[in-house]
């Protein structure tokens, strides 16, 4: 009940303050698991996307966000995100195992395949965790494009700007393959990134994005 009330309030804020346009919301299943694989332009992406959907979306976020700025703490509490220490040994697999648990429980899980926010607005090569999740759990992948969120709260700014954003959700993608196969994981990841690029219109860079301390 608390999450539903918070979501109603946040959805109203997103639509009124940022005039959010949402395309493809009907692609999100009413029940059952799904992976929402999104490009990543702003820390607020993890607030905007769940706010416009009728179901809760869980993200994994670095533990610093839970003790960071008031904005980041509020987002983490709102989403019920799972904290992960990115510097610990085995952090990547721990994140994937936690995500698989969310999906096996029939819920929605959000992931940024780039692994970090884009510093220049371009779309970077995806990491293979999204493929491992899809092939391990059998959950469909919904490509997502966040557009304009980088202008709301750019690095160094503490007060969000009131500028229009657009969220596009693509059709579900299902994959077959062996999660232990590097070739299958790369194939699936590249297919997901191509779908995100078609939705977002971003320039694609075939290399991994550089992480920053604020990611």
- Give the pLDDT mean for 139-165: 92
pLDDT in the model for residue 130? 97
CA distance 32 to 211: 32
β-pair partners for 34: 108
C-alpha span between 194 and 190 (Å, rounded): 6
Query: Domain segments of the chain: what residues?
Result: 2-205
Q: Which residues contact 134 (CB under 8 A, 6 or more apart)?
A: 35, 140, 141, 173, 174, 175, 188, 192
The pTM of this model reads: 0.89
- Minimum mean pLDDT range among 9-18, 47-56, 67-76, 137-146: 67-76
Distances (CA, A) of 30 to 49, 83, 121, 153, 209: 16, 26, 32, 31, 33
Comparing CA positions, the residue from 147, 118, 139, 174 lying closest to residue 52 is 147
Distance, CA of 82 to CA of 99 (rounded, Å): 9
Q: Three-class SS of residue 17? A: helix
Please indicate whether residue 158 or residue 14 has the higher confidence score (pLDDT): 14
* CB-based contact 163:157 (threshold 8 Å): no
Residues 6+ apart with CB under 8 A from 156: none
Q: Summarize pLDDT for 161-205 with one digit per residue, the tens.
A: 999 999 999 999 999 999 999 999 999 999 999 999 999 999 999
- CATH 3.40.1130.10 holds for 2-205: yes
* Structure confidence at residue 99 (pLDDT): 93
pLDDT at 215: 56
Whether pLDDT at 90 is above 80: no
Model confidence at 95, pLDDT cuts 50, 70, 90, reads confident
Residue 7: pLDDT band by 50, 70, 90 thresholds?
Answer: low
Q: Tell which residue, 134, 194, 166, 185, has the closest CA to residue 52.
A: 166
Q: Mean pLDDT check: name the lowest of 53-62, 103-112, 183-192.
A: 53-62
């Amino acid at each position: 009940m608390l999450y539903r009330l918070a979501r109603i309030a946040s959805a109203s804020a997103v639509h009124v303050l940022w005039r959010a346009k949402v395309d493809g919301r009907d692609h999100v299943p009413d029940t059952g698991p799904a992976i929402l694989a999104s490009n990543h332009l702003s820390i607020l992406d993890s607030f905007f996307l769940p706010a416009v959907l009728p179901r809760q979306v869980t993200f994994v976020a670095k533990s610093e966000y839970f003790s960071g700025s008031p904005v980041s703490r509020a987002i983490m509490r709102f989403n019920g995100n799972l904290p992960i220490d990115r510097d610990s040994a085995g952090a990547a697999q721990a994140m994937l195992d936690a995500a698989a648990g969310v999906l096996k429980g029939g819920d929605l899980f959000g992931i940024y395949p780039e692994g970090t926010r884009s510093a220049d607005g371009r779309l970077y090569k995806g990491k293979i965790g999204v493929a491992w999740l899809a092939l391990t759990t059998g959950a469909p992948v919904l490509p997502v494009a966040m557009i304009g969120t980088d202008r709301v709260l750019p690095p160094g700014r503490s007060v969000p700007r009131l500028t229009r954003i657009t969220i596009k959700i693509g059709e579900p993608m299902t994959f077959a393959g062996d999660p232990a196969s590097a070739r299958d994981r790369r194939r699936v990841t590249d297919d997901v990134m191509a779908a995100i690029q078609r939705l977002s219109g971003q320039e694609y860079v075939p290399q991994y994005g550089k992480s920053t301390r604020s990611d």
